[in-house]
A = this chain, B = another copy of it.
Amino acid sequence: MNTQNLVDPTPASTDPLDRFYAVIPAGGVGTRLWPLSRAAAPKFLHDLTGSGSTLIRATFDRLEPLSGERVLLVTGDAHREAVCRQLPEILDKNLVLETEPKDSGAAIGLAAAILYMRDPTTIMGSFAADQVISPVEKFQAAVREAIYTAATGKIVTIGIKPTHASTGFGYIRTGEPLIVEGAPSAHTVVKFVEKPSQEIAEEYLASGDYNWNAGMFVAPVELMLRHLKANEPGLYEGLMEIAAAWDTPDRIAVKNRVWPTLPKIAIDYAVAEPAADAGDVAVIPGDFSWDDVGDFAAIARLSSAKEDKNVKVIGEGGRVFTEDSTGIVVTDTKRVIALIGIQDVVVVDTPDALLVTTRAHSQLVKKAVDGLKARGDTDVL
């Protein structure tokens, strides 16, 4: 295959669902969930909500009815073993291990390139490994709509209807309805906008024209690569070179040579935003509840764990005693933890590090990580 000129493909199957391939990028430490989440045990490897599944396992299970075994996973070399333990179904050829983190442009771009090499008519769907979604049926319905819309030649993002004026997410400005068979809620996207101020967020919420950008999108791999080539030709060339070698004995050698040279750029800048400006992006407003479990306040909110009096306790081994207290305890140890007369507390207990904060300060946990890094306490990060 000539990697310099993308082929405009003619699909073998007329049903776009048959051409769907799920991509799960599993990266990101989840710094605001330290010390539970850390480099060696990132957020997606934890069961943060007491569901009985790790986030990555739940992500896979949510997609499996749509994708079957057609799931490609991108993660760090260091997480290979843990990920394979969580997802024994992943085929070796579909396990993309990064030798070093290169941001989402390279991670998702490589997935697109590998899938393109195998079948240029593939429609990929990329879904982060560390989100909590329910009910799954509504999510799956939205993905189906996104696949049908993608088949018309769109990069389709699945937006989330805002429940409050969040300043923590980017937004998608929704345009006119699109007429797509099998996708009654498809709309054009006017543009993506960055995390807003509180005032602007209130306006967005009031207008009804904006959805949260959850980083989920579904697109023909060929269209993804076309935009990547136009915007980041260096990254595109490198990824295509690795992809061409992927299903050959040269996979490791080429990856090890090329990957370190790739630029770091988010997929939003490399593909999604320029594609929106070109009129190539659509949105399916998701009608399900969604959370990126960004901090311990989110865990307190989402967890189905039992409450001991007014304290939510997450972690199987926890021996927690509470008296006149409220908040959340996340425990990764078998230690006894006693809370006496303390309100709105967040206690996160791991074998080598302990965090004590409040729900209101959950967003500031990163400060501890930065501070510990600055003074060299990197063994617990």
Residues of A within 8 A of B (CB): 34-35, 319, 321, 323-324, 335-342, 345, 347, 349, 351-358, 360-361, 364-365, 367-368, 371-372, 375, 377, 380
Contact = CB atoms under 8 A, between A and B. Distances in A.
Given A323-B371, A345-B342, A368-B321, A336 B357 contact: no
Q: Oligomeric state, in number of copies?
A: 2
A338 B319 contact: no
Which 5 A-B pairs have CB atoms at the shortest separation, nearest pair first?
A341-B361, A338-B368, A340-B357, A336-B353, A336-B380
A356 B342 contact: yes
A338 B358 contact: no
Contacts of A357: 338-342
A174 to B, nearest CB: 37
Contact of A367 (B323, B337, B352, B361): B323
B361 A340 contact: yes
Contacts of A321: 368, 371-372, 375, 377
Given A321-B368, A323-B371, A371-B321, A355 B338 contact: yes
A36 to B, nearest CB: 12
Nearest to A381: B336
A354 B342 contact: no
Nearest to A341: B361
